Amino acid sequence: MSLLVVGLSHRSAPVSVLERASLGTDAQIKLLQDTVAAEPAAEAAVLATCNRIELYADVDKFHAGVAELSTLLAQHSGVGLEELTPYLYVHYEDRAVHHLFSVACGLDSMVVGEGQVLGQIKDALAKAQDLHTAGRLLNDLFQQALRVGKRAHSETGIDRAGQSLVTFGLEQFAPDGDVPAWAEGKKALVIGAGSMSSLAAATLARAGVAEIVVANRTFERAERLAEILNQAEDTETVARAVPMETVGVELTRADVAVSCTGATGLVLTAEDVAAAVAGRLPADMPPARTPEPYDGDEQARAAAAVPSAAEPHTDDENCPLDLAAVQPGFSVMGEAAVAGMDAATLEQHAVWVDKGSEVQRREDARSAAEADAELIGALVATVATVGRIPERRRPEPADTAVRSEPVLHLLDLAMPRDIDAAAHRLAGVRLVDIESLAEASADAPMAADVDQVRRIVADEVAAFGAAQRAARITPTVVALRTMAADVVAGEIARLEGRLPGLDDKHRAEITQTVKRVVDKLLHAPTVRVKQLAAEPGGAGYADALRTLFDLDPETVASVSRAEDTHEKNREPR
């Protein structure tokens, strides 16, 4: 059997795909059960975080395993296999081990060095153990990953290479990244009471906010988190719990709101946010308004940034949508309206919203052609000067009017997102979400400690591989020693038949002598074969041992099954 991981993350897929592919607890359980029920897989574990979904399995066939795991991910995520496939990555054997160890150390996180993923790896292992889908390989792998991650954080300064996702998000609001100075005296609203929301609440309290209001669908959990915050001795922050239904009211009082729930839909719409800041804007700032459509896509952002030659449609005349089916509370020009449209309908909707004239479109086409010609000329000049075409990077944003200081700061750490992305265009509002965090940290300088962590990962991968290869020969060694013990027992029984008058003292001495002889004969070969098996390409030594001593294959297999059963039945740590 061999380790295989199939997954997608912020490095391989856009946020929109990650949102749709996210797995709730029930979906993860069903995925694990279906994976171990599939033919190629014997063990399975799911690592699901805010920016990755990965399925680990012990498989007996590589190609069949990749096909099966990819299909299962598509089925349980609800994203079609053809759409999902371009964003999937596959790691096998040592590369799969290297990947998980890198994840555990925070090297694969959006913010390098964040340690929160260790808790998520621990949860993934506990879930697999609880469902008995983790056997010897995945138990060893995930427990070793936890040890490697802890080692990286204790032996290096990887924590300085990047902050936790919460801290990094708050630093986007603070001038010069000084969170305590920015947070002092502010009122905060935390939506959700899970691990990420609890971390956000604790971070805000340590930063010095005056008040934290916790809202959660299960009110008791919100009360518990508020109680913990109030009992903390290192802060003076006052915390209180409120029902989820009062979020709209509390938002009108908050200076900063952090949301991270397991909701599948939006927790705060753009309309909710606009209502919360409506009466709080300075006199010289235009009133908050419900923003135009925005779906988080780069092209949509660019299009939204360019003023339209014609005002968009404001009535329902000739709208291609079934307006009766649109959810209450959403604009027919908003995200919810166009979700799930086919391409043809979407194009009709775009034409209806833009209401651009054919003349304007022709002028835009001419402008685009002229711009392309200028770009090509610039590239040619660049190549002639520096000898290469520069890297393709995200275009610099167009100059916009300076906006006044926000009155409401929103940090959305959920996946799928909790806060309508259109809220970023509201006057008086600053929104930071998973996508913008990824962009902000993409070019962050790498600390020297990262190289040290990479060396730790490489060493640990080699050690894990050697241990696994050595472990694979253990059932053969056990079977050999069992056979030797049976031979000794048989010979002692035959001796007793020949010497019926042998007393107990002499019988025990003879038995012990024979066992010592057998142990000494087997000691050097079994120790040496374990050492050789731990080296790359050492798998053949187990076959040689079985052949030389004519070991029963079923005896060896029964030892392996007993070990796997023991691992799968172990209690979660």
Q: Residues with catalytic annotation?
A: 50
* 196 labeled binding residue: yes
> Is 197 within any annotated ligand binding site?
yes
115 is in an annotated binding site: yes
- Single-letter residue type at 174: A
For residues 129-164, one letter each, b for 16 or more C-beta atoms within 10 angstroms of the residue's C-beta and e for the rest, the string is bebbbbbbbbbbbbebbbebbebbbeebebbebbbb
Q: Is 195 annotated as a binding residue?
A: yes
Helix (H) or strand (E) holding 45, with range, is strand 41-49
CA distance 270 to 293: 10
171 is in an annotated binding site: no
State whether residue 38 is helix, strand or coil. Answer: coil
- 169 labelled ligand-binding: no
Residue 193 marked ligand-binding? yes
Pairing relationship of beta strands 2-9 and 52-59 according to DSSP bridges: antiparallel
Q: Is 203 annotated in some ligand binding site?
A: no
Give the ranges where 315-357 is alpha helix by DSSP (H): 335-338, 343-354
Is 52 annotated as contributing to ligand binding? yes
Q: Is 329 annotated as a binding residue?
A: no
- Structure tokens of 23? 């797995």
Of 60, 168, 174, 189, give the one whose Cα is nearest residue 106: 168
φ/ψ of 57, rounded to 5, equals -150, 155
Residue 443, classified by CB atoms within 10 Å of its CB into exposed (0-12), middle (13-18) or buried (19+), is: exposed
The answer to whether 296 is a known ligand-binding residue is: no
Per-residue exposure over 299-315, b if at least 16 CB sit within 10 Å of its own CB, e if not: eeeeebeeeeeeeebee
How far apart, in whole angstroms, are the C-alpha atoms of residue 115 and residue 127? Answer: 20
Q: Give 412's strand partners.
A: 259, 433
Give backbone dihedrals phi and psi of 336, rounded to 5 degrees, phi first.
-65, -30
Q: Is 50 annotated as a binding residue?
A: yes
Residue 49 annotated as binding? yes
Query: Residues annotated as binding site for NADP(+)?
Result: 192-197
Query: Residues annotated as binding site?
Result: 49-52, 109, 114-116, 120, 192-197
Query: Residues annotated as binding site for substrate?
Result: 49-52, 109, 114-116, 120
